[in-house]
Amino acid sequence: MMSSLGSKKNVKIFSLALAGVFIASIAGMALVSMGDVANASPTSDIGVVDQQEVLKNNQMVAMEYQKKLQETANQTKKDFDTKAEGLSDEEKEKLYADMSQEFNEKRVAIEKDMKDRIEGVVKSVASKKGLSLVVEKSAVIYGGTDITKEVSDAMAQQANKSAGTDSEKK
């Protein structure tokens, strides 16, 4: 056998064959371990939620968000019109830029409030279901416990309680 390995060409072929066997065995082990993931129990401590679906299913919450944005936009326009009276075009442009920035900051705060509200409900549902991690459903190809419906239902309950509280205040 050593005499057949003596030439450099034979050593290269033998090395390539050995490397091929090594790579094939690693690939085989990877496939076997992936099979374990595919056959894993559906009980997972990872959850997924479709936030767009949650908002779609909770029109009251989405409308509340839109209403806040619209009120902020209307107030900003009203303030601009009042402050812009008698200003030069250059001063109006500066005022417009300043008020646009102010509006964007308010918009971001409204969006953060909405996001925090959804995240609070997600955390509550995840805790009840024993989930240690919840990610956006669109970021997951496979796996995870879908809690979208539970989050939607909890958001609806929260919105109904809030609406009941608001009508009692009036």
Whole-number percent of the chain with pLDDT over 90: 32
Is a pLDDT exceeding 80 seen at residue 35? no
Q: What is the mean pLDDT of the chain?
A: 79
Span 85-136, pLDDT tens digits: 988 989 989 999 999 999 999 999 988 888 888 889 999 999 999 999 999 8
pLDDT for 127: 92
Furthest C-alpha separation in the chain: 101
> Which amino acid is located at 72 in the chain?
T
**In the chain, domain spans:** 1-40, 41-169
pLDDT for 170: 47
Helix (H, G, I), strand (E, B) or coil at 133: strand
Q: How far apart are CA 114 and CA 158, in angstroms?
A: 13
pLDDT band for position 158 (cuts 50, 70, 90): confident
Is a pLDDT exceeding 80 seen at residue 1? no
Q: Among the listed ranges 37-46, 102-111, 134-143, which one has the minimum average pLDDT value?
A: 37-46
Cα torsion at 27, 33, 36, 38 (round to 10°)? -50
Domain spanning 41-169: CATH 3.30.910 = yes
> What pairing do the DSSP bridges indicate for beta strands 46-49 and 145-146?
parallel
CA distance from start to end of the chain: 96
pLDDT for 36: 46
